[in-house]
Structure 1
Amino acid sequence: MSIELALCIGAGYWVDTKWGTSPWYLLTGCLFGFLILTWQLFRLVQSMSKPDESAPKPKTPEQKKNQNETHEK
């Protein structure tokens, strides 16, 4: 994640030195890199908060009752 931020800042710095527009492209690179970092962090948190599909799902009270009835027979 930090690579994208560093690349955006570096690109902004490089453009500023090339065109003599300091600090505008550096600030734009910082902003763009921060937005990319925030988006990636958001996606990471979303993927970590999804329920595990391989984990057994909790049984509803109706399922437990049905299971008990089948074992009693």
Structure 2
Amino acid sequence: MLRPDRRSQSSLVEAHRWVSRLTTVSLEMALPAFLGHWLDGKWGTSPWLTALGAVLGFAVGMTHLLRMAKDAELKQRKKIDQPSKNAEKLHDDIE
């Protein structure tokens, strides 16, 4: 199946994608701490599981955030390199 060109999509679609990604990262960071807090109350281990959940959630969220930033940078570099390749092809077609 062919994917449509991203330039033809509206900015609203792109904004929705970023909101979805950031919501996912936020939940990845918050849910382990809340789960640890709940387990601390249930098992009486306060504050250890809350702290462990917070550290784990922070590590997972930051890893995901850094991966998203790296992917965005690679896409940006491809976008910058693409016009130069098209210009070379157009120049070769003219000759």
Q: Give the alignment's TM-score, normalised by structure 2.
A: 0.57
Counterpart position of 1:55: 82
Counterpart position of 2:46: 22
Counterpart position of 2:61: 37
1:44 aligned partner, one-letter code: M
Q: Give percent identity, aligned residues only.
A: 32
Q: CA deviation at 1:31?
A: 0.2
Alignment RMSD (CA, Å): 2.5
Counterpart position of 1:12: 36
Flag structure 1 segments of 5+ consecutive residues without an equivalent.
none
- Matches of 2:49 and 2:59 in 1, distance apart? 15
Q: CA deviation at 1:58?
A: 5.2
How many residue pairs get matched? Answer: 64
Q: CA deviation at 1:57?
A: 3.5
- Matches of 1:11 and 1:37 in 2, distance apart? 15
| Higher normalized contact order (CA 8 Å, seq sep 6+, divided by chain length) | 1
Counterpart position of 1:2: 26
1:23 aligned partner, one-letter code: P
Flag structure 2 segments of 5+ consecutive residues without an equivalent.
1-24
Runs of 4+ in 1 over 6 A off after TM superposition: none
Q: CA deviation at 1:6?
A: 1.5
Q: Give the alignment's TM-score, normalised by structure 1.
A: 0.72
Larger radius of gyration: 1
